[in-house]
Structure 1
Amino acid sequence: MSDNLGIIIFSCFAAAAGIQVLYYLIFFSRVAFYNRRFDEDFPPKEDMSVVICAKNEERSLPRNLPAVLQQRYHVHQEPAYEVIVVNDNSEDDSKYYLASIENGYPHYRHIEIKQSAQFIPGKKYPLSIGIKGAKYDHLVLTDADCKPGSIHWLSLMAQGFCDGKEIVLGYGPYYKKPGFLNKVIRYETYFSALQYFGYALAGIPYMGVGRNLAYKKELFFRHKGFTAHQHLASGDDDLFVNRAANSKNVGVVINKHAFSYSEPKTKWKHWFGQKTRHMSTGKHYRFGHKLLLGLFSLSHFVFYPAMVLALFYPPLLYVTLGIIGGKALIQSVVSWFALKRLDEKDLFWYCWLMDIMMFFYYVIFTPALFFNKGRSKWK
């Protein structure tokens, strides 16, 4: 290897490593060392509306909905919240189950949608119907296939609205199951949360996930709902937050009792389809957010190939090894505490393998940013 080529490769490697370390220190460490305390018996200060959209979820609803309806969020033993389930043109027997439980829960009701909105794919139309029908200004959103991590989920999410916050970001992990695919799904979900939590805690919020998200109804109407991106099937969560969030109006709740758990995909092709759909919304983020995310992704993509090549340049071999060791130490410490904070610490022993695999993740899914139109159905 010539000196000129060796120096160029080493420079690319060192720059990529430096960028990675800066992101871990500036953004991701905020998740790792997040120390806000929450009161699980927090007395309700605001009535809440939980909105859930369902489409052909007759199996998921009986498993998950009771946990939402039985939250410990009461004033004088009366529920200080309502639960609205919007049944969007389901072709199964969801409507019979939803109707059968209404008498047992006075704070619950469901809305049947029997006609789809033209030119509005995905769940934005049913979600808008549910939000418009909500009685209270403080909304909490989750999915029909999600189950709260505890009976304190709603109380903990409500505490995120303190100090004038209008949006609250929660974590929506997937259940731990056997198999390598499950670990990949959970790691990718953790890594996404590491970014959107870290940036939000740094005052640069850019997205949230609809499996566990809260915001004010007034904020929704102030930003004209999903009008700006209603033609896209995805984006009811991340694109809305991307437009409505600012450095002062977003709260973060990281507490395992406030998580909202989902069943993971069990086949690679189904997960690929899900991720391709989700990735397609990224090109619609604000320019600054795309730049911030793109710089980290590029550094991640460049790091491992440049590292391998830099190891074959003897004059700077010890410097290369020193950079690798320093980055590994910082990244390992931050990753351990962040994984522990998000109750995913069993993934720590796989995190370096997963980190290497992220190179292939970018190769596979980046084209979705440019070629996927985001018009697929949500179910």
Structure 2
Amino acid sequence: MPEPTADFTAALGTALAGVDTADARALWRALGVGGVVAALCPDGGNQPDPRRLATLLTELDARCPLGVTLSVCVQVATVLPLLSEAATAGPVAETVAGMVRGETVVALAVTDAGASGSDLLDATTRAKLGDDAVTLDGGKEWITNATTCHAALVLARHREPRHFTSFCWLLVPISTPGVTVEPTGRAFAGSGVGHLRFDGVALEPNALVGRPGRALAGFARQVGVERLASALWSRAICRRLLTGLGEWLRARPAADGTLWDHPAVREQYARCLVALCQLDALCAPLLDGPPGPPSTVTGMVLKVAAAETVETIAAEAVHLRGADAFRDGGEAALRTEAAMFGIAGGATGTMLAGLADHADDLLRSGP
């Protein structure tokens, strides 16, 4: 069973006190200095404890813009575990130590400029591996933390065959000559989303993270934790939305009482509650399990369920609140940004196609 989270929760509250929660770098620094990043992985492990991860994402969702929470989520669920697994010495180990202290922000550069987001085997970002140097060319698009990071963990092709063993990870300092960063605009405020370009970027051989050929296999395992984090975070968003919506409905005058008194409104609200309870039920076994990636099928189920639950509840909140939902920071804006749950970590359509391939297993035993 996971350790109690009381001490972790207290440390998190202390770390967040007084920090500018709209500043992703300042927030990450506070989490590091406060020992929160280190405490996410108990007993010196590489994987975040599920309950601590849920506590972190719930607290950040309550206090931070969605983009800032996204900035932290990518690092704790994916980047830090991938780097920690390969951290023996050199730049990789130094970067891990810097991340744990909150001094170093690292972007996860996977989505390729030369391929569709979910088709990593067609990625065109290439690494030429030599005995004395590594050369990187290509581009990555819509990368969280691109404009705020100190380094990027880049998925690159080092062999031509369209095969999962043709890829490696490179740790690329963002200040390296040949690296350019292009902001993408104001979407996901605080997330640092941008495009990265690599033009003849020369790196030392120790920029390699792990062994060449194992990058996609490692990422395929770790993305399960990212999908669990997505589900835990979407639960927090939905609970926050429904709490605020319920308070608003009870206070909104109607002809004979408040909107909450209308059976049709209560029915729609209750449907949203059911959707949230279903997502809670999917997450519950994983919260009581050990740190580490869920199975591939479970990860895909969580991914789809999180995306669809957020959309269902956000859409109903917009429908019921009407014009009020379109105020600054209202449900309409949140619904637009929360659409990322249907894209990041694998598009919903791709997940559903994969789940159909596992239909017999799911029908026999469930995720």
Task: Verify same fold: TM over 0.5.
Answer: no
Q: Indicate the TM-score class for this superposition, using the shorter chain for normalisation.
A: under 0.3
Larger RCO: Structure 1 or Structure 2 (Cα < 8 Å, ≥ 6 residues apart)?
1
Using the size of structure 2 for normalisation, the TM-score is 0.24
Using the size of structure 1 for normalisation, the TM-score is 0.24
